[in-house]
Structure 1
Amino acid sequence: MKIITYPAHIHKKILAELEDSTYREVAARHRINPNTLATWKKQLQPAERMVIRT
């Protein structure tokens, strides 16, 4: 299994998809673990967190 690191702007783009989809759906689309999405969301600054509503 190859480990891929995504830059911060890609994290935000992927997390924005959570507005219309579930963690599981977004994770499957990008071939990442749903827990990774949760970790990325926790790492966002508080102001950025407000933009992504789940």
Structure 2
Amino acid sequence: MPQLFEQDRLDVWYDGSAVCVIAVGSHGDPLDLSESEVEALIVKLQESLEKARS
């Protein structure tokens, strides 16, 4: 997932008991995501949700 600043953190994963999401901007502001970044995030959310349901 491309990000605007190297220090920004945007990720989704399933840890075995929960779907985890982290979205932290390097300057403490909300992350501004492009359409492609939102689509990639949705894909990762869906993959994690499928793992959680199985």
In proportion to residue count, which structure has more strand? 2
Q: Which is helix-richer, 1 or 2?
A: 1
- Greater C-alpha radius of gyration: 2
Is TM (by shorter chain) over 0.5?
Answer: no
TM-score of the superposed pair, with normalisation by structure 1:
0.29
- The normalised TM-score by structure 2 is 0.29
